[in-house]
Amino acid sequence: MLYVINLTVQVMNVKFVQKMNMKNKNPHENQEDLNILRKIHKNPDITQRRMANDLGLSLGKLNYCLVKLKEKGVIKINNFAKNPKKIKYIYLLTPKGIALKTKLTINFMKRKMREYDELKKELKK
């Protein structure tokens, strides 16, 4: 019985930490996630190398971000054979991914509008 309670507490702690990590993410990391989600939405069969080059990220960092997005249930990564010698991947946004992309886009727009308002106030001085 004690083991089950301890395991339940550990699971609850992990979920709490995951929620806190999402809240504590800095805007730069959110922007990277948004950029990745936009790229996937526009071109689901893009290669990681191409996506990394387009986004200005290292291949390793992009791969890390994709794995984390997959673990969160934001994207699905499926592989398919384009020809017998080469395996490619297709990246798909899940409903959770579409919701996150929308939320990140709204937050991005709010942040840019605040920056615009602050600049406007500075110019009036």
Cα 44 to Cα 37, 50, 112, distances in angstroms: 10, 12, 27
Q: How many CB atoms lie within 10 A of CB 85?
A: 6
Query: pLDDT digit string (tens) for 44-73?
Result: 888 899 999 999 999 999 999 999 999 999
Is the pLDDT score of 76 beyond 70?
A: yes
pLDDT at 105: 92
Q: What average pLDDT does range 83-98 have in this prediction?
A: 78
pLDDT at 6 over 90: no
Domains and CATH numbers, the chain: 27-124 (1.10.10.10)
Q: Would you state the pLDDT for residue 29?
A: 74
DSSP label at residue 58: -
